[in-house]
Amino acid sequence: MKILYATSEAVPFCKTGGLADVAGSLPAALAEQGAEIAVVLPLYRQVRDRFGAELKFECYDYVDLAWRHSYCGLFSLEKDGVTWYFIDNEQYFDRPGLYGYMDDGERFGFFSRAVVRMLPHLKFWPEVIHCNDWQTALVPIYLKDDGVREDRFRSIRTVLTIHNIEYQGRYSRDTLGDLFGLDAGWAADGTIMMDGDVNLLKGAILCADAINAVSPTYANELKMAYFAHRLDHIMRRCEYKLSGVLNGIDMKLYDPETDPRITSHYSTKDMSGKDADKAELQKLMGLNQEPHTPIVAIVSRLVSHKGLDLICEVLHDMMELPMQLVVLGKGDQKYEEFFHWAADQYPGRMAVRLDYNEALSMSIYSGADLFLMPSKSEPCGLSQMIAMRYGTVPIVRETGGLKDTVQPYEAWRDAGNGFSFRNYASGDMLYVIREAVYLYKDYPEAFGRLRQRAMESDFSWARSARDYMRIYANITGQIWTTAQNEPEEESVEAETAAVPAAEAAAEVTAPAAQEQPTEAPVAAEESVPAAAAEVPAEKPARRTTRKTAAKKALAKTAARKTTARKTAAKEEPEELPAEASAKKAAAKTTTRRTAAKKTASAKETPAEMSAEVPAEPVAKEKPAKKSAVKKEKTTKKGPAKTEKEDAAE
Ligand code: GLC
């Protein structure tokens, strides 16, 4: 599979946000899955300054866009099985920053046009171009536009990943022809228009063959007005090709056992290094040297959607608790001023650094005990995963990727890997902070086990890469078997064995009905019409957690109980409805498990997820090839045309 990954930033070359981390790690993970992969990004000044000596000049050409005829150089670099291409045009990219210029539309219009027009100069003709956010949103649009005249562009399938729907690339109507070189038809039928403006992201959502959000929950949220920044109806319309793929983190780079950026190393087997790192952090930040006081940390851009208003509301209540608070980040002036002022009120207990400082952030991840991230919305979020890897237990609001990565602590069965609250309400946040702080103070052993579960959570990129490979296979009509890569799913028995005794005891007494709602959508799946098999495979099970393991175990126990009852007691032919559904659920789980083993492209979906994305059935038992071929037929018909007509507003 030949994939071209188009991005406007990537670690280690250039970074302003999480997109760079993703673009820096995912391509290598895709290469490990057997993809032939190249990445293309602009040759910014900082890339030239830092990596200039390593870059190889490939060629140059001219790119036509509207009335412009611009020079376009192509440089390359090989790294970790990935070819990195850099698009050179000094007028557009030889600037100190990446974004924030008044001609950003023109700059990324040029970049997207160059990605398409420079294809003949790359080492391969891609089968899929994978675009990210608005900066590369014009690529699927240009491919449709050029495809009308040139067959070779029609052969390329496109994926669009939405990292944050807030940024859509909105420009005035007159830029359509003048800047982006598109004819009036694109506006007339509404494909690229939104609220009277050219909206690049909207155009790409309609034109791409598959779209995905960076977590399953965010994919679901994008269909709601509260989260979608006016694109919710478009997302609902494109639901058939929408999925959620959770980001990972670089598990080697972020490893407390080996990370050279932290003072003392540690692992789940020996946590003493973390105590040393904590003492070091307290020293560094001027906090009281109190080994038994939990440090709550915030490492964040100081902007509103990170949920900082909640903290401002109850900061003084928080500081009544026996805890210390560390804040690292910069952003909106009002938050900077607030935190600066607040730190003065609590010398020795609260410390603030208004900075973006990677070295200090690593000292915080390793030295703190709790990591606070109460985001209003969070497409995926990487810092909670990094914090967990370093044994800093997260406290998050249940939104987007935060919900998908943090399973709330459940004292009664000693489960979960963090703390969470649902409503965007400061009282609710304070409640869980209090719960976390007192668990740390009063039940250090239980807190230790919770911390261990956080550290053991699997956030590796391999899983996400497999999900993307499945999407590529779906849209290109190719079969992709995971046989050599996919680890065998842990057997239910093994998972059951891992459930602690208390949990196992709870299994016996916990009413089956309690677990039913989560399994209910599975039954709904059975009634999915055949046509639904065309839907791209939905995001499969992400993290095997103790919680899901316990659920599976519970379902299995329910099945066993029911079977036993059936055989042993014929005089009891009528099952209680609750038991009947538990049995059905368990039977379905077993079927799914068998199917997952048989079907390469199939994986299990967490029950919660099915519940949340009811309209997106999981194409699990479908033969991958058949669905892909069907899908291809639909796309080949020329979705641009039909969708354009469809999209007229
Ligand atoms: C954006 C999102 C963030 C996500 C990142 C990578 O920065 O705001 O939640 O983790 O992209 O996908």
> Ligand 1 centroid to 21 CA: how many Å?
9
Average pLDDT (16-28) is 95
If one compares 601 and 53, the residue with the highest pLDDT of the two is 53
Q: How remote is the C-alpha of 372 from its chain's centroid? A: 19
In Å, what is the CA distance from 497 to each residue of 211, 492, 549? 39, 8, 10
Count of the separate structural domains present in the chain: 4
Same domain as 548, residue 447: no
Whole-number Å distance between alpha carbons of 249 and 253 = 8
The pLDDT tens digits for 560-576 are 444 444 443 333 333 33
* 466 located within any domain: no
How much helix, strand and coil, in percent to the nearest 5, is found in the chain?
Answer: 50, 15, 35
User: Going by CA atoms, what residue is nearest to atom 7 of ligand 1?
Assistant: 18
Best residue among 8, 19, 386 to mutate for probing ligand 1's pocket (most ligand atoms within 8 Å of CB) is 19
Res 555 pLDDT > 60: no
For the Cβ of 381 lying below 6 angstroms from any atom of ligand 1, the answer is: yes
3-state helix/strand/coil string of 493-539 = HHHHHHCCHHHHHHHHHCCHHHHHHHHHHHHHHHCCCHHHHHCCCCC
Same domain as 202, residue 99: yes
Same domain as 101, residue 226: yes
Nearest atom (ligand 1) to Cα of 17 = 7
Whole-number Å distance between alpha carbons of 14 and 24 = 10
**In 396-443, where does DSSP find H-type helix?**
400-405, 426-442
Same domain as 213, residue 329: no
Same domain as 553, residue 581: no
* 599 located within any domain: yes
Same domain as 184, residue 98: yes
Range in 8-12, 156-160, 633-637 with the lowest mean pLDDT: 633-637
> Ligand 1 centroid to 239 CA: how many Å?
21
**What's the pLDDT score for residue 480?**
75
Name the token pair of 335. Answer: 């938050």
* 7 located within any domain: yes
Res 177 pLDDT > 60: yes
> Ligand 1 centroid to 559 CA: how many Å?
40
Q: What is the mean pLDDT of the chain?
A: 82
Nearest atom (ligand 1) to Cα of 218 = 9
Same domain as 228, residue 98: yes
The pLDDT tens digits for 96-153 are 999 999 999 999 999 999 999 999 999 999 999 999 999 999 999 999 999 999 999 9
Same domain as 299, residue 447: yes
* 482 located within any domain: no
Q: In which domain, by residue range, is 133 found?
A: 2-244
* 258 located within any domain: no
The pLDDT tens digits for 315-363 are 999 999 999 999 999 999 999 999 999 999 999 999 999 998 999 999 9
The pLDDT tens digits for 500-548 are 333 333 333 333 333 333 333 333 333 333 333 333 333 334 444 444 4
Same domain as 634, residue 507: no
Nearest atom (ligand 1) to Cα of 21 = 6
**What's the pLDDT score for residue 118?**
98
State whether the Cα torsion 384-328-256-323 is positive or negative: negative
The pLDDT tens digits for 259-288 are 999 999 999 999 999 999 999 999 999 999
* 471 located within any domain: no
The residue among 228, 244, 260 that closes a domain is 244
Same domain as 210, residue 128: yes
The residue among 229, 244, 259 that closes a domain is 244
Name the token pair of 353. Answer: 């650094």
Q: Who contacts 610 (Cβ-Cβ below 8 Å, separation ≥6)?
A: 521, 522, 524, 525, 618
Same domain as 280, residue 216: no
* 249 located within any domain: no
Quickly state the pLDDT bin for 479 (edges 50, 70, 90). Answer: confident
**What's the pLDDT score for residue 487?**
52
Q: What is the CATH number of the domain that holds 227?
A: 3.40.50.2000
**What's the pLDDT score for residue 481?**
67
For the Cβ of 379 lying below 6 angstroms from any atom of ligand 1, the answer is: yes
Same domain as 386, residue 316: yes
Res 214 pLDDT > 90: yes
* 266 located within any domain: no
